[in-house]
Amino acid sequence: MKWDWIFFDADETLFTFDSFTGLQRMFLDYSVTFTAEDFQDYQAVNKPLWVDYQNGRDHFITASARAFRELGRTAES
């Protein structure tokens, strides 16, 4: 398939994705309540992990497992 256009929007000037609502809906699919406080805790863990990943210091799967652990959950729950 040939694409005529590809849009990059790293700073959300064209499209806005509400990550809190997205995560809240995802957790709701698994009958888990995800609050604004949970999102703040998630961001505190997730942002530094993404920096490590982007700088080649951590593998994404390892970082994801670490994020769940630091939030007091397992990837299976």
Active site residues: 9
- Under DSSP, the state recorded for 67 is H
Phi-psi region of 12 (alpha: psi -120 to 50; beta: other; left: phi over 0): left
Indicate the SS3 state at residue 21: helix
